[in-house]
Structure 1
Amino acid sequence: MEKNTEIINWAKESLGAKGYILNGSPEVVQATPWSSVTRFSTSSGHVYLKQTPPGLSLEPVITKILHAQFHASVPEVIAMNKDLDCFLMEGCGFSLRELLKSNFQPDLLCQAIKEYTYIQAVVGEHLDMFFELGVPDWRLEKLPLLYDELVGKEDLLQADGMTTDELRLLQELSSKLLSMCDILSGFKIPPTLDHCDFHDGNILIEPDTKNMTIIDWGETVITHPFFSLITFLNTAVRHYSLKEVDQVYVDLQDACFENWHELLSQVRLVEAISLSKKLWPVYAALGFCRLMMSSQAEEFKSLFGRLSGCLRGFIKATEEYDGVTECCVMEFLSDKMEVVLLNKSLEKQTVEFLNKHEETSLFLLSNLKNYGATLTDDTYSGNFKCLLKNKEIVAVFALTRIGNLLVQTDHKADYSEVIVNACLKESVSFRGVISDWEIAKPIWECAKLRIPFFKENVCKKEILFKLSMGNLVNIESKHTIEYLKESNYAEWSALHRVLMSELKLNLDQEDAEAERKRFLQDTNNKNWLGLFVDGRLVSIAAYIARFGNTGQIGSIFTASDMRRRGLMKELIVQLLLDGKNNKKMEKVILFTDENNYAAIGLYEGLGFKRIGYFGLLFGEHQN
């Protein structure tokens, strides 16, 4: 009581010193276990006094910085007292929630989101100043440790109603959380300042001007920007009886994306926020635990079960994620997806679909031609499947004998969950994706989340090049270059295995007999060329896929002791001439690592043009 009197006296003295004339007695307008707010009626309008626990005492400092340095829509702090953990701020209108309860206006909710995401955007490049203040670090790489610390508070959680079995399950989900955080990090959405309690109840609005002010920054942390936006969406669902399929909800979620459209496509943003929603219960639990630790425990008796409720929400979220079915309705697709095996009736439509995307579908087209549409003992065979939407093909994919997924979609939506689920029902174990980068990466992230104990080994983003044969530049060969034949197998195998090792790909998980069989098939089709120096095979290159008048070259390699002699350029030119003159090819494509500057220079010097990016993503199952 003495402290309350001291705080009120300080507020009156501070207001008097600044020229405010008080009208009547102060009035307590809000009291929670972690803060209280008192309103003063003055000659210059309402002024509010807020008291916080020491653990949340950064609120006036953060608010002042946001107001003064970033011109953010936050209250103006009149005075603060660090010793008493309180501060005074100007009144800024009335509760947005109260206004909307009587007159629901979705546009005002969208406006509130945009005011907040503006703050997220402008503050994002200045996080160091907030770290220096002591704002908690909840970035995604820190979240697993924070989670482990939280679920380790067994006495606290049991006192809040959690059972021993639930606690054990939460501890087991630690690795799942780590994987989910890694995947969300892969979207490259940068961390920023997070309000931690952003909703319409913490937004004030001036009825006449519709100017908004975001209050209550005491729980601020630094983390992924979507978490606090999900808090806002969840609150809107609860208070205004919205559903995620409602257009109002869709519009609100789209407003959340406004600052990130240059970074990611709409489909990828939806995927990112969908994953963020599954992690959100952990974020909410951490926030509530922080409030509890900042206040007296007995004051939280009326909120019994809230902390454990958040954590049960995480358990449910992980269960729901694992429950995706093959024919599912995705969050951002209104039509049912149907996966069917490629059959005779679909063969023509499938080839036509792949031909539309020829430059990124050559592996599929070539394998379909060479090995057929079903899985056999051949290394690159696989069960070809079509993803149908309204009976039209929107994706074609095949999981090969060695576990690499070849896939092509229409790029109109993200079909990752449907495709991955279909692959997990195959007899072959999934271990990688080879496709257009924009298709491969989301499938890969989905697969890593779906497959227990799956470790990423390789994630390569390759530049995709194309050459029209009419632009081919001829270079006279100074060495012996010829088709490889059976007698070259031993030398070829040694070079090819070093190539795979250097690239860290190790694509061919096949025994020596299967490798030899594949080599003989390729040599019979005259796919491999080799360059010889004094009878020794030192450079190799091949047509690794061919369909119609288009070829794809790859497996380009020179022995380490014979490099920087121009041998590779010499060999590639002869391989291209062979394609043009003997195989009637009009176009050739290839891909190389985006950091392989020597190879990039070589290909561009030969006339290749960049046309996109290709993904090579591989992993392994761990026991």
Structure 2
Amino acid sequence: MCVQYHVVPVSVYNVLGGAQLIHHVTDADLERVRAFLEAHAETSLFLLSNLALLGPRLGDHPNSGNYQLLEERGRVAAVFCLTRGGNLLVQAAGRAELAWPILKACEAQPIAVRGVIGEWPTANALWRLLCADPRFQPLHSVKDVLYRLSLSAARLDRDAGRELHARALDAQDFDQWEPLNTAYLAELDLPAQAAHAQRKAAFVSGARARLWWGVFEGSRLAAIAGLNATYGSFGQVGGVYTGPKDRRKGLARAAMSRLIEDCTEHHRFARLILFTGEDNHAARRLYESLGFEARGAFGLLLGERRGAAG
């Protein structure tokens, strides 16, 4: 059952002087909220995608949440959302000084902040505030490099995908996809974000929308790649993984090549975004060889608050 919370505006004052107002996003705010996020689309795809799919209110889905905006003199300065799963999605256009009022507004909600996802300067500032709390335990704190690929200039390697039997996954592939995805999360020290039934439902929905791809050796799924967010002409790549025994065979390249081909010809996207650890040199070489260009930094910072009820 969805729990509804009473929505009240929250006023916050900037330590540098000048009034700031933080309040929940209303239907009347949606146009300017979208415009602000679209102006920073490359680091806002989680916020944009969730807003389009789930709306600006907390619901049953673990990625749903109450969207809030921070205004300065009537202008949008930041948009953020604390999801039911405890992840704080944030876009403040790199203004790290807004981290404190954003965190205070989130702490007024009944959901504990367990992670921060967003553009690096603000995400990092929020992370530092969280880690200063002795009740908070960091689990995954890596600075990611943000990459962009313009699909009009993409280097399509069609032969790689076909020679190695790369294809879009369907709902029947879940039982093979699940252990690979679990291994991917474990290798990155990322916690599973939902129960098994929710993960299956999300995979089936994504497969039906042609958002997952894989490479097979015979009938065995050996490598995966997917889109974890889409909005307009943008797709965001995630979950690219090959098991240890299948590496150095070109499987990740084959999966990514088929993904790029389908995003160009089936989805008609104009641009792909992805982020990977700055020390993950093998992944970075792969993405750069496919034409992706480094565009900055992104924060995917996850932890746990001791004693949190969730």
Q: Which residue of 2 aligns with 1:357?
A: 40
Q: How does 1:275-314 map to 2 (within 5 A)?
A: none
1:183-218, Cα deviation, whole Å (9 max, x unpaired): xxxxxxxxxxxxxxxxxxxxxxxxxxxxxxxxxxxx
Q: For residues 570 and 552 of structure 1, what CA distance do their matches in structure 2 show?
A: 18
From 34, 51, 57, the counterpart of 1:374: 57
- 1:328–1:337: 8 Å Cα contact kept in structure 2? yes
From 169, 186, 189, the counterpart of 1:484: 169
| 1:608 positional shift | 0.9
Q: Which residue of 1 aligns with 2:91?
A: 408
Q: For residues 417 and 465 of structure 1, what CA distance do their matches in structure 2 show?
A: 28
Q: How does 1:1-150 map to 2 (within 5 A)?
A: none
Q: Which residue of 2 aligns with 1:595?
A: 279
What amino acid sits opposite 2:80 in the alignment? F
Q: Which residue of 2 aligns with 1:335?
A: 18
Give SS of 2:235's match: strand
Q: For residues 95 and 112 of structure 2, what CA distance do their matches in structure 1 show?
A: 28
From 156, 166, 183, the counterpart of 1:474: 156
Give SS of 2:111's match: coil
From 29, 46, 63, the counterpart of 1:346: 29
The higher relative CO (CA closer than 8 Å, separation ≥ 6) is in: 2
Give SS of 1:328's match: strand
Q: For residues 441 and 428 of structure 1, what CA distance do their matches in structure 2 show?
A: 20
Q: For residues 27 and 79 of structure 2, what CA distance do their matches in structure 1 show?
A: 15
Structure with a larger share of its residues in strand: 2
Q: How does 1:454-603 map to 2 (within 5 A)?
A: 454-475=136-157, 476=159, 477=161, 478-508=163-193, 510-603=194-287
1:561-619, Cα deviation, whole Å (9 max, x unpaired): 11100110111011011001111111111111101111111111111111101111111
Q: Which residue of 2 aligns with 1:434?
A: 117
Work out the number of aligned pairs and report it.
296
Give SS of 2:13's match: coil
Q: Which residue of 1 aligns with 2:5?
A: none
Give SS of 1:374's match: coil
Q: For residues 495 and 504 of structure 1, what CA distance do their matches in structure 2 show?
A: 14
Q: For residues 94 and 188 of structure 2, what CA distance do their matches in structure 1 show?
A: 28
- 1:339–1:387: 8 Å Cα contact kept in structure 2? yes
| 1:412 positional shift | 4.5
| 1:399 positional shift | 1.0
- 1:385–1:396: 8 Å Cα contact kept in structure 2? yes
Q: For residues 409 and 613 of structure 1, what CA distance do their matches in structure 2 show?
A: 14
| 1:391 positional shift | 1.7
Q: For residues 379 and 600 of structure 1, what CA distance do their matches in structure 2 show?
A: 30
Give SS of 2:68's match: strand
Flag the 1:455–1:385 CA change in 2: closer, same or farther, 3 A.
same
- 2:96–2:125: 8 Å Cα contact kept in structure 1? no
Q: For residues 95 and 64 of structure 2, what CA distance do their matches in structure 1 show?
A: 27
- 1:327–1:418: 8 Å Cα contact kept in structure 2? no
Q: Which residue of 2 aligns with 1:186?
A: none
TM-score after normalising by structure 2: 0.92
Flag the 1:538–1:413 CA change in 2: closer, same or farther, 3 A.
closer
Give SS of 2:248's match: coil
- 2:144–2:299: 8 Å Cα contact kept in structure 1? yes
Give SS of 2:103's match: helix
Q: For residues 391 and 524 of structure 1, what CA distance do their matches in structure 2 show?
A: 42
Name stretches of at least 5 consecutive residues in structure 1 with no aligned partner.
1-325
Name stretches of at least 5 consecutive residues in structure 2 with no aligned partner.
1-9
TM-score after normalising by structure 1: 0.46
Q: For residues 141 and 109 of structure 2, what CA distance do their matches in structure 1 show?
A: 23
Does residue 445 (structure 1) correspond to residue 128 (structure 2)? The answer is: yes
| 1:434 positional shift | 0.7
Does residue 609 (structure 1) correspond to residue 293 (structure 2)? The answer is: yes
1:41-67, Cα deviation, whole Å (9 max, x unpaired): xxxxxxxxxxxxxxxxxxxxxxxxxxx
Does residue 419 (structure 1) correspond to residue 89 (structure 2)? The answer is: no
| 1:384 positional shift | 0.8
Q: For residues 188 and 265 of structure 2, what CA distance do their matches in structure 1 show?
A: 31
Structure with a larger share of its residues in helix: 1
Give SS of 2:177's match: helix
What amino acid sits opposite 1:391 in the alignment? G
| 1:403 positional shift | 0.7
Q: Which residue of 1 aligns with 2:6?
A: none
1:64-96, Cα deviation, whole Å (9 max, x unpaired): xxxxxxxxxxxxxxxxxxxxxxxxxxxxxxxxx
- 1:433–1:617: 8 Å Cα contact kept in structure 2? yes
| 1:411 positional shift | 3.1
Q: For residues 529 and 489 of structure 1, what CA distance do their matches in structure 2 show?
A: 12
Q: How does 1:82-231 map to 2 (within 5 A)?
A: none
What amino acid sits opposite 2:215 in the alignment? L
Flag the 1:379–1:471 CA change in 2: closer, same or farther, 3 A.
same
Give SS of 1:532's match: strand
What amino acid sits opposite 1:571 in the alignment? A
Flag the 1:464–1:507 CA change in 2: closer, same or farther, 3 A.
farther
Q: For residues 53 and 234 of structure 2, what CA distance do their matches in structure 1 show?
A: 15
What amino acid sits opposite 2:198 in the alignment? A
| 1:495 positional shift | 0.7
Q: For residues 586 and 401 of structure 1, what CA distance do their matches in structure 2 show?
A: 31
